[in-house]
Structure 1
Amino acid sequence: MSVLTRDEAQTRAQLLDVHHYAVDLDLTDGDETFGSTSRIRFTARAAGSTFVELKPDTLHSATLDGAPLDPAALTGNRLPLDLTEGEHELTVTATMRYSHTGEGMHRFLDPTDGESYVYTQLFMEDVQRVFAAFDQPDLKAVFDIAVTAPEGWTVLSNGITERQEDGRWTAATTPPLSTYFVCVAAGPWHSVRTEHAGLPFGIHCRRSLAPHLDADADEIIAVTKACYDRFHEKFDEPYPFDSYDQAFVPEFNAGAMENPGLVTFRDEFVFRSAVTATERMTRAMVIAHEMAHMWFGDLVTLRWWDDIWLNESFAEYMGYQTVNEACSDLFADTWIDFGVARKAWG
């Protein structure tokens, strides 16, 4: 697989202005693969050659402005495109493979009750494991996501989702997002929902963890609301998305991910037994860290990955600061943990 270089990304960003993705995923194909169709509307500022990225199990078809492209032209993860100046629409239909490594669309079978769950983790370059995309952070676009899921599942995404009469779920159109922020989490979730500041808030986990999430729901929601209010005191810009969901997902290969409107956390943060005050404070800090990214990272996004240090360092600092300011009634000595766990490391 070819790794996108910074020079290639700069060249493609000079050529393209990407407007809109319509992504349609079918999660009813079985336990190994899922269906993926993406329609991309974009403008080429001049005639030239470029490529779209995709890592399919099978590439079924691709059309550019209605004209078929040869699926055999896919080399590694790159499908070449020869463009004229002007508006274009690319449609790609493929079968994709679930992962069990937390990359792309991860699928998990709960050994407790036999229920299955899937969720995406697209940082840094794994959107192409889910749908075709111009996969670099500075080519933001608006997304419309639709998902066909098994009966009894709930689909979560970056925007408010609704189940349609045909059983498909559709998510509200997003603001412009970098490709690595798109998120889908689907399964028979156990959910605790509320509202705050006129927006729907929710926390979600697999059903087998429901008693443990319920035991901590009041604290998690209180921390979330307090941090949300404090960030609005800090920042002039209001929260830019239409909802705030937090999904605690199994076998996550990181601590958490700041997907706009749908933050994913490793479900070890749903505590199964008594824990220390420091562990509870760490969970609160991670909630605040990921929320800081809604502004610094999601609304305003790095152009290239050499700025990820600033994205993460800022969110980590803001996480500690905001928990200290907004949740002092729940957690004391936040800065002591910062000094021990982060300052010396930095």
Structure 2
Amino acid sequence: MDQVFTPVRVGRYILPNHLVMAPMTRSRAEPDGTPGALAVEYYAQRADLGLIVTEGTQPSDDGQGYLTTPGIYTDAQVAGWRKVTSAAHAKGGHIVIQLMHAGRMSHPDNTPHHRQGVAPSAIAPGTPMFTAKGMQDIPAPRALTTDEVRQTVTDFRHAARRAIEAGADGVEIHGANAYLVQQFFAPSANVRTDEYGGSIANRARFAIEVAAAIADEIGADRTAIRLSPGTTMWGIDEGAEGPDLYRYLVAELDKLGLAYLHIMHQGNESLLADIRERWKQALILNRPGRPREQIGADVASGLADLEAYGQMVLANPDFVARLKTNAPMNDADRTTFFGGTARGYTDYPALSEAVPA
């Protein structure tokens, strides 16, 4: 495990270690999408990881899916995020804002304009969503016109610029977990007949255009993307061509010279090896549910440059210190993952608080 505690270059930055806080929705933002006051403390507590990737943050009103998730496109949201990034930087941390457009994973009751979600095609995901009125079925989205797809690319570009204005060290495009970018990949969600549907190249086009636009706006060395090849949640089915789509997509994204590629691994080791071969910059690997005793194995083998962890970091603000000293980890309380107060958010004890004087 010693290698994970050494410095590593990612984009324009030298990070102090190879450990990454994975993006995790916490649903504690203010109603206007401004990060809540507790978010400042929450992220600063975890600033000793090599890199913090924030919770998914919508680039527009259309991009919001869930209640009380943050945005990064208004002046108030920028001011709120600036407090977060300043607190993380004051403790020596590096933090990137993940840009997440939920696409069809949205409900009109959850968005500022109360309109139906937008997506590649008018196909409902077939799942309910939590709203202020309780669980409700997600309605069919409205299919984006070709011009609206291009406008959405512009929305991502604008949000990336606003993230840099807020003091972020970069942005990560959320291209995983059945949200808008991945919806373009999947024939189960994309039956378009224009240049954004049909062939592998067409279904990958939106992701590549978003990445290229952001790289042009803030620099490729501050631009990254997260992918989850093979995800089948919420009606996503990438079909038999799925692995070849990712081989094509990663090779095309590699040409942009992005800071890093973040893979949420779903178990296809052969595809992962092919991605590693095609990707020349830093690769972050997240294996959901990976046991503690395997931390560092992918960095040691050279399969990944950094490793991302979610629940263990959520429950252990001093995650790095606990790894270094082989100290026990707090268990995560799943009942406090989404929404609520400081409980299960900023009140997990650090080692210094847990050990009697």
Pick the structure with more strand per residue: 1
Structure 2-normalised TM-score? 0.25
Structure 1-normalised TM-score? 0.26
Larger radius of gyration: 1
